[in-house]
A and B are shown apart, each in its own frame.
Chain A
């Protein structure tokens, strides 16, 4: 059994008791449905045989006795089973999907950023969203598909049992339907593609116009732009009508085949009736079974759904290949935030041995791809080295509990992703408060102090709702985002701050102010700054110079600058004229 099937089976088990109800109701319902034409046919025959003569006028007291009572029971059973089936399908699917999702979310969070390295963000979202839902619906697809096969296959069998001739008629007709559906698939895909192309064209025009929104606003040309975006609309209409026509054609074919099939079965059956080989009731049953049998197509459609669910389960299951990261149980002893890298290799680093004294400000420099970011990630255990070990105040990082580690080390990134409902929440994401930082006065104070140190306070207070502005309503430039990311790290870290190119988009003045805060109120903490800027390197206590993943030098900026042309070259070539600086002025 493949992994995907195993996951489907495990998901089925978590559909809960509802799944049993679903199975019983589906199978029971389809058996009853299969029995119905026979029971009704028998009743008709019984009534014809003894009906009119027994009760010439009006309903008789015993109208619900005998065969009619049987009918009533079967009908009631069908309705109850149908209803239970719908209920159980929804409820079991919901439970199974929810179970699967909770498990996946825990796993993804446990695996951490390594997950997004393997699965791009949008892909991950699809797997957790649509694919998990489809997998959760697998039990329902299996049960419903199986129970649909009962009446269709059963219908065909019953037809053969009553009279083989109509059955032959039906099978010939079914083959016709399959041909028609295949023609439909051929017809439309080209038009669908053309339609989607025009749709994409309109969307692309809209996105392009949105990128020039300020120009358009200033020029007062919004109406002209709307017309430009909508220019392909007539073409969309043409392809749209083409689609409808293809649809209508196929609909006519399928729409007429089943009824004609039934008429054909009736003709054959009627002739048999005239010949005395069939009763009226049997003729009725024959016609109904023909209709049930023609439903084979939709039953096969469920096989397709099952295949989709299985594929979805496969995609979901792939997520568990990325293992969860384990954390230890140790707490940190008191210490200044001293970091030791011992023989660290992996993720582009080769045998890095270095000790960063507690409380020091260390700049990490090197060309792109030299391993700066890898070193920064290891300093806060965002990744584990393939070889070697990183110690924080003497404790190997993997031995630390998650809380101890994250309270000690804070990261700020080049492109931080802000998580939280409001700007204040986003800054307080790393604070230890069990509730949101924005809900307590002390939490708010911590957030505001961190924001001031990151030069974010001034612009946050200018947002429509200040710190309470929902993130979605606070459009920010790259530099503003970086400042929020810095504030988040400042609010979090007790011992070590890792700034991975985290001031690259700040204008010079703001960067200087942040540098002043780092040298001022944040000086007690170990600071690791990866940077492209010589000024930042010059301000640091020491510079860690990386080249091709190896430690090339570890000294003060001036010393390296004077001694190594290669060191000077790092700053000349690594910074193109058009860096993403937010502004110079």
Chain B
């Protein structure tokens, strides 16, 4: 990923190299100019010659300044696209993860990911800058020394190379310890945040000692990691000292013996102290700090955004392939004159590991919209009890079904299964004969409890699923019962601010949007829970008149009274019937309806 970003546009690299050359001109000139200025100029009693040489050096610095400016821009031209890449990856990855089971929102990590992207960009630019600057400086210095006094090279290069090698050898250890520190630091931050957030609960549970010990363990681990980093840094400083200062000593000790004049000695020292030393220092800092940070940030971003390369998703395929296998037959007889039967809970079929699905939507548009579930079993993981077990269900083209039952026991899972967002562990779900997973999104519409309204015009929000004429939009607005809201907002072209809308108003927009979709199968998953009962009744009636099949995961039991059939889900026990049938045979259903009866309505 990093390498690709660097080499993507060779032209930019060439430009960077050109300006780097200008930037390192003083490194080439410095020793030579100082030596000549002293030797031929000031020391020889010809100050004008000395001034000319120093003027040359000053000019070189000016050229270098322009080169440095252009190099920064050249680095930026490589680093900015890299940032764009990373950000696209974070956005794409987070959204894809959130829209794929198990729908982990990831909203809480958005700020952190954004920060990581910035850190990665800065570190990336820093690494390019120092590596490039180091390479060009070393070459310039060597060339400069060749012109000044080649005999000095053996005094300078070997110790410099030795120190550099020492540093490079320490780099992997350094990177490991830095990474270990970053991880320890993050784990500490997590535990501190969780402690701060749960203070009341920790005290109420009397778990202070336990939590103090846990956080204390992480504090110690973080401090240990910091000390380990310090140890390697100390070693690294030694290598820097060897590379930077040993040449100075050798030049002083043996330079004059090689016949070097005072000017040549001072010039050579200028090369070592003014150019090589700082360049090495920059490299050490750049690779040791920015390089490690870059690696850590990129690794973190990879975690957020697992992959976008299509070639790397084979692990998810098998679950999809095995999904439609027929379920084991169940012996239980239907308890109603209907197509559903209760599955024997004591004998759940073996279920497969957590079925996950890719985010790619299906493409087939079935001609009919008859929904069939045959022996459908689903669990969220291998260690999890099934949420739906051996469910058989058949919905006619014009079905109006209400799904009722206690919360958290499978109603929304059923909606996701029928929509194809989840693949069953076993059994088969078809819409109009086509496997639910392969059905094009346009053929069915699911409106979840949390209505999605985005920044944009009301019209854009309403025609999100399919284009529609203004007349059709207004008719839908009227049917669903959001005329008042639409007028208050200012019509189709008004900008919508989701945060300024109430939850109920957002649901009205989502409902009208669904109404406008061409889909012949509509699933409302508690999509009216924030509406008052009258508005809910009106919206449901609009969908009932609209034609096609309607499945309502009920929030209030009034939805069940309006539906032709009711599916009662309580754990894996499932019953299907009309309202009256269920009243007659299901104590649980009677219980639910009894709860709702008007004498306690005041507390709802």
Contact = CB atoms under 8 A, between A and B. Distances in A.
B452 A215 contact: yes
B83 A419 contact: no
B95 A468 contact: no
Contact of A59 (B233, B254, B595): B254
A176 interface: no
Contacts of A64: 253
Nearest to B412: A214
Interface of B is mostly: helix
Interface string B54-95: 100110011011101110110110011001100110011011
Given A418-B198, A468-B383, A248 B69 contact: yes
Interface in B224-260: 224, 226-227, 229-231, 233-238, 240-242, 245-246, 248-249, 252-259
Given A417-B200, A419-B202, A583-B529, A271 B47 contact: yes
Given A52-B259, A218-B448, A233-B88, A464 B381 contact: yes
Interface stretch (A150-158, A385-393, A403-411): A403-411
Interface stretch (A94-102, A296-304, A306-314, A519-527): A94-102
Interface in A101-117: 101-102, 105-106, 108-110, 112-113, 115-116
B441 A219 contact: yes
Contacts of B530: 578
Contact of B105 (A58, A210, A260, A291): A210
A584 B556 contact: yes
A10 interface: no
Contacts of A287: 34, 270
A59 B249 CA distance: 13
Contacts of A101: 219
Contact of B57 (A78, A199, A263): A263
A263 B61 CA distance: 9
Interface string B398-424: 000001111111010000000101000
B245 A105 contact: no
Contacts of B58: 260, 263
Contacts of B553: 585
Contacts of A48: 256, 261-262
B327 to A, nearest CB: 19
Contacts of B604: 575, 577, 579, 581, 584
B15 to A, nearest CB: 14
Contacts of A273: 38, 42-43
A215 B205 contact: no
A213 interface: yes
Contacts of A241: 73, 76, 80
Given A218-B448, A240-B76, A266-B34, A475 B206 contact: no
> Which interface class (under 10, 10 to 19, 20 to 34, 35 or more) fits B?
35 or more
A477 B62 contact: no
B114 interface: yes
Contact of A466 (B68, B235, B383, B532): B383
B147 interface: no
Contacts of A162: none
A208 B454 contact: yes
A82 B84 CA distance: 40
Nearest to B256: A51
Interface in A375-408: 380, 382, 402-403, 405-407
Interface residues of A, number: 165
A229 B409 CA distance: 34
B212 A585 contact: no
B478 interface: no
B591 A509 contact: yes
Nearest to A50: B256
A13 interface: no
A266 B47 CA distance: 12
Interface string B182-223: 000000110011111111111111111011100110011011
A206 B95 contact: yes
Nearest to B419: A218
A207 B234 contact: no
B464 interface: yes
A94 B256 CA distance: 47
Interface stretch (B96-104, B165-173, B314-322, B482-490): B96-104
A221 interface: yes
B227 A585 contact: no
A433 B263 CA distance: 79
B41 interface: yes
A72 B249 contact: yes
A219 B200 CA distance: 41
Contacts of A93: 226
A68 B249 contact: yes
A169 interface: no
A228 B454 contact: yes
A248 to B, nearest CB: 4
Contact of B38 (A199, A270, A418): A270
A-B CB proximity, top 5 nearest: A90-B230, A212-B452, A406-B206, A464-B381, A220-B361
29 contacts: A44-B252, A47-B256, A59-B253, A59-B254, A79-B241, A79-B242, A86-B233, A106-B212, A203-B110, A209-B98, A210-B94, A210-B105, A218-B441, A218-B448, A226-B91, A230-B87, A252-B69, A255-B64, A255-B68, A266-B34, A267-B54, A270-B42, A274-B45, A382-B200, A406-B204, A429-B205, A578-B504, A585-B553, A585-B554
Given A90-B233, A95-B223, A209-B95, 6 more contacts: A78-B241, A90-B226, A105-B219, A211-B107, A283-B38, A417-B201
